[in-house]
Amino acid sequence: MKPVFELKCWVKKLYRQGGKFRAYLDELEHTETMALYELQRLQNRRLRRMVDHCVANVPYYRDLFHALKLRPEDIQTPDDLQQLPLLDKQTVNQNFERLIARNHQNWLCQIAKTSGTTGSPAKFIRDFNAINFENAAIWRQWRKGGDFGKKRVTLRGGIIAPVAQTEPPFWRHNPANRELQMSSFHLSMKNSRAYVDEILRFQPKVLYCLPSLGALLGRFFRHHGVSYQFDRIFTSSESLEPDTLAFLEETFQTRVVDWYGQTERVAAIGQCHLGRYHIQEDYAIVELWPSNDADTYELVGTHLHNFVMPLLRYRTHDFVTVDLSSCACGSVFRPVREIVGRSGKTPIITPEGCHITITAHITCGINNLLETQFQQEKPGEVILNVVTNGQFSEWDKAQLIQNTLQYTSPLMRVEVRKVDEIPRGPNGKFISIVNSAGMERQGSVV
């Protein structure tokens, strides 16, 4: 099996970093140095190209423009986009086929499934160039952070080893990326020494992780009295709370660089070397849509590079607080103070003591779900509060329970509760996991 896995790693690397990857990376490293007016001119050109394509080739937009009595030339700049309605996930689900460009060859496209922050499943199609562009944007961030292809360890929510497996190895080696991929589903005190020893053996220079999982790994190192220094830690996919940031930097004696993106790939935010967050203005058109809270804005994004299934004015349901002061790093990209929409570090704790913060695998592919919240009141039990579209069947429910057992623990007791709505937290933020079962504090031993 090992040679097959290794071959897959090389093919995947070729796929993500083939085609226009190198050209995109060079271009992105240039566009971030552009003056604002130059960048705006470039983005306007790209926007017009995308709108022309949408109206000519995508049935959903052709009909939308017709209904609104708009012509493609009515959209010249990001401000003109306001003539179009916002697009949400439900509309994408209802119009999936009509959002696919008719002139597009499906060769090398990829279907991405997500449950997003709200646990509402959806799927999107990306073309080969869009995949190359995404990887180039991420690589720019890594290179800026100091990683030019060093040995790395990743703890990014992957399953890696079967959940029911009780003995190491809970990891595998990806030779194409010089990477040690570690399972996020076996991180427990019982397995902690095995994780620490494997990292000491592999000697990675960089850690790629979800903040909650990096912190858990840090607690293992501290618990076993082992000191380890990374050259850099790159985090993404969850809120990076100040206490987690401080804990990671102190434990692994390095700087943390954070990144925000989403499966829909309509907006990206990265930290500069001063630690400030900047909207990646050359990645997409990003609008800041006012929310109920005066200081908080929803990220609304428009694709400029994905021509197979373009999203115009897509609502991410992720929010930022705006920072009006300029950044001393000199970037013309708009700074934001905080990204408040991402799920936090609260875990579901399994009967075996593992911490599960990733729930996307559980709700992915379940039909008729609109929102899902995981609630833990007692150890070893989890309640799934679900908002459905009314057609949620017993089969869907059984599948949801099955997935929960598969991706948490076969010993977990699972209850599914239908609810009319899931109350939002502060700033309208959706909270995907609520745990009142006696959580350990950050920094304490698991």
Token pair 């926007």 is at which residue? 47
Q: Closest separation between CB of residue 272 and Zn ion, Å?
A: 3
327 binds Zn ion (CB under 5 A): yes
Angstrom CA distances, 84 to 30, 80, 333, stand at: 31, 8, 24
Half-sphere exposure of 121 toward its Cβ, with a 13 Å CA cutoff?
A: 19
Would you say 41 or 273 has its CB closer to Zn ion?
A: 273
Regarding 332 and contact with Zn ion (CB under 5 A), the answer is no
Q: x/- string (CB under 5 A) for Zn ion, residues 8-27?
A: --------------------
CB of 232 to Zn ion, least distance (A): 17
Q: Which residues of 134-153 are buried (b: 16+ CB within 10 A; e: fewer)?
A: bbbbbbbbbeebbbeeeebb
Instruction: Give min distance, CB of 335 to Zn ion, in A.
Output: 6
Separation of alpha carbons 379 and 317, rounded Å? 30
By CB under 5 A, which span of 60-68, 256-264, 268-276, 392-400 interacts with Zn ion?
A: 268-276
Q: Does 257 bind Zn ion (CB under 5 A)?
A: no
Q: What backbone phi and psi angles, to 5 degrees, belong to 159?
A: -85, -45
Closer residue to Zn ion (CB): 25 or 272: 272
The backbone region for 126, taken as left when phi is positive above 0, alpha when psi lies in -120 to 50, beta otherwise, is beta
Name the residue nearer to Zn ion (CB basis): 233 or 269. 269
Count Cα neighbours of 405 within 13 Å in the Cβ-side half-sphere: 12
| Shortest Å distance, C-beta 316 to Zn ion | 22
User: Residue 28 interacts with Zn ion (CB under 5 A)?
Assistant: no
Residue 427: CB minimum distance to Zn ion, A: 23
| Other Cβ atoms within 10 Å of 171 Cβ, number | 22
Residues 130, 149: Cα–Cα separation, whole Å:
22
CB 40, min distance to Zn ion, A: 19
Beta carbon of residue 263, minimum distance to Zn ion (angstroms, whole number): 26
- Written as six digits, the tokens of 444 are 């304490």
Q: Considering beta carbons, is residue 272 or 349 the nearer one to Zn ion?
A: 272
Q: Are 43 and 282 in contact (CB under 8 A)?
A: yes
- Of 144 and 193, CB closest to Zn ion: 144
Tell me the CA distances in angstroms from 391 to 20, 327, 370, 397, one per residue in order: 43, 49, 11, 11
If the CB atoms of residues 227 and 325 are measured against Zn ion, the closer one turns out to be: 325
State in Å, rounded, how far the first CA of the chain is from the last one: 34
Whichever of 276 and 355 has its CB closer to Zn ion, that residue is: 276
Instruction: Point out which residues pair with 173 in neighbouring strands.
Output: 180
| Closest CB 146 distance from Zn ion, rounded Å | 16
Of 278 and 313, the one with the shorter C-beta distance to Zn ion is 278
Options 276, 342, 345, 355; binder of Zn ion; rule CB under 5 A: 276
Length of the chain: 446
Candidates 46-54, 93-101, 282-290, 329-337; binding stretch for Zn ion (CB under 5 A): 329-337
Q: Which residues pair with 381 in a beta bridge?
A: 413
Which DSSP category does 87 fall into?
A: B
Residue 272 touches Zn ion, criterion: CB under 5 A: yes
Kindly indicate which of the ranges 13-21, 32-40, 272-280, 382-390 contains the residues binding Zn ion, using the contact rule CB under 5 A.
Answer: 272-280
Interaction between residue 329 and Zn ion (CB under 5 A): yes
Q: Under the phi-then-psi rule, with left for phi > 0, alpha for psi from -120 to 50, and beta for the rest, what region is 268? A: beta
Strand partners, 269: 260, 279
Whose Cβ is closer to Zn ion: residue 215's or residue 272's?
Answer: 272
Choose the stretch contacting Zn ion; rule: CB under 5 A; options: 322-330, 353-361, 373-381, 408-416. Answer: 322-330
Residue 315 touching Zn ion (CB under 5 A): no
Smallest distance, Zn ion to C-beta of residue 42, A = 20
Return the residue matching tokens 């994004």. 301
Q: What is the amino acid identity at position 168?
A: P
- Contact status, residue 209 vs residue 220, Cβ threshold 8 Å: no
We find the least distance from the C-beta atom of residue 277 to Zn ion, in angstroms, to be 8
In the stretch 372-411, what mask flags binding to Zn ion with x, by CB under 5 A? ----------------------------------------
Residues near Zn ion, by CB under 5 A: 272, 274, 276, 327, 329, 331
